[in-house]
Amino acid sequence: MVEAILKTVKMTKIGREPVAVLPLAKWQEIENIIEDWEMYNSENFRRDIAKARKEKNRIPLETLLRKYKLV
């Protein structure tokens, strides 16, 4: 979804770095997508921890941190 938004934006270079100038509405769309993704991952993370505690089937914290790319 973000890639589709960025394809409609004109790219330019300032110095060596390419930059994109996009309308505020497009930037807010991208921010919303990122926030939704972060919230989804954090909810799944909490759910997996709660599930492991209930089942007494311990999942090492390191495993969960790697799974959700928090390390």
Per-residue pLDDT tens over the stretch 3-62: 776 676 677 778 888 887 778 888 888 888 888 877 777 777 788 777 777 776 667 778
11 Cβ contact list (under 8 Å, min separation 6): 18, 19, 20
C-alpha 49/C-alpha 58 separation (Å) is 9
56: tokens are 């007494």
pLDDT-derived band at 1, boundaries 50, 70, 90: low
Task: Report the pLDDT value the prediction gives residue 18, as an integer from 0 to 100.
Answer: 80
13 Cβ contact list (under 8 Å, min separation 6): 19
Asked if residues 44 and 37 have their Cβ atoms less than 8 Å apart, the reply is no
Task: Report the pLDDT value the prediction gives residue 2, as an integer from 0 to 100.
Answer: 63
Task: Report the pLDDT value the prediction gives residue 69, as an integer from 0 to 100.
Answer: 77
pTM of the full predicted structure? 0.42
